[in-house]
Amino acid sequence: MSTMNFFVRIATPDDTDTVGAVLAASYPALLASHYDKDLLARVLPMITRANPRLLASNTFYVAQTRQGEIVGCGGWTPEHPGTGEVVKGVAHIRHFATHPLWTRKGVGRAIIARCRNDAAARGVVKLHCYATLAAENFYRAAGFTTVASADVLMGSSLPFPTLIMQLELS
Ligand SMILES: CC(C)(COP(=O)(O)OP(=O)(O)OC[C@H]1O[C@@H](n2cnc3c(N)ncnc32)[C@H](O)[C@@H]1OP(=O)(O)O)[C@@H](O)C(=O)NCCC(=O)NCCS
């Protein structure tokens, strides 16, 4: 990690604006080639806001450069997104994004590694993820397998195609 020009730390509510800026830069640019334009226009306002509960969870992380710039985010929760259901040993990957100027530099990989580590230390044996179609290769490279396709209902009524992906932690 010492050769990287960023480091991963736990996010706090003070990161709300910078995490929001990463989401707002990342999602429109990186999802555009995988989703219908009209669908994206409706969904983006719902997914580019920093989630206060994640920022206060201590299991959400940011990648920060030595200059202090936030260039990526992501984390995990015991709660299933949406339903809040908790199943012992299972955790859910949440709100991963890398700034478009920082993709393919290992930012996402470093945050996933931190998630794996911290989740395993707390008894998690399986990570579950609703992956965007744009992120399948990223999660595969991290060892996840694609289990099924699933439409996530955005704003309770708008179907957004995702892939259910899972990783067993050993
Ligand atoms: C998915 C995402 C977070 C990956 O972030 P990243 O910091 O670029 O990922 P990394 O640099 O750590 O990539 C790790 C490995 O994943 C794979 N990978 C990452 N992005 C990829 C892509 N676009 N195409 C193919 N493989 C990819 C590669 O194997 C890569 O290793 P390599 O660069 O040495 O070949 C980023 O592309 C993103 O923000 N996407 C838009 C938002 C999104 O879909 N988030 C996921 C929500 S479920």
pLDDT tens readout for residues 30-80:
999 999 999 999 999 999 999 999 999 999 999 999 999 999 999 999 999
CATH number at residue 33: 3.40.630.30
- 110 inside domain: yes
Tell me if the pTM is above 0.75.
Answer: yes
| pLDDT tens digits for range 4-42 | 799 999 999 999 999 999 999 999 999 999 999 999 999
Spatial separation of the C-alpha atoms in residues 125 and 167, rounded to whole Å:
8
Measured in angstroms, how far is the CA atom of residue 24 from the centroid of ligand 1? 17
Quote the domain boundaries for residue 67.
6-168
Q: Tell me how far the alpha carbon of residue 138 lies from the centroid of ligand 1, in angstroms.
A: 4
Residue 34 lies in a domain: yes
In the chain, what is the greatest distance between 2 CA atoms, to the nearest angstrom? 45
**87 in contact with ligand 1, CB cutoff 6 A:** no
Whole-number Å distance, alpha carbon 132 to ligand 1 midpoint, is 11
What pLDDT score was predicted for residue 1?
A: 45
The answer, yes or no, to whether residue 3 has pLDDT greater than 70, is no
Considering Cα of 108, then 33, then 31, then 18, what sign does the dihedral take? positive
Q: Which two tokens stand for residue 67?
A: 């200059």
1: in domain = no
Counts of helices then strands in the chain (DSSP H, E): 5, 7
Atom 47 in ligand 1: which residue has the minimum CA distance? Answer: 96
Q: 120 CB under 6 A from ligand 1?
A: no
The tens digit of pLDDT for each residue in 87-144 reads 999 999 999 999 999 999 999 999 999 999 999 999 999 999 999 999 999 999 999 9
**For the chain, what is the domain count?**
1
Half-sphere exposure of 5 (CA within 13 A, CB side): 5
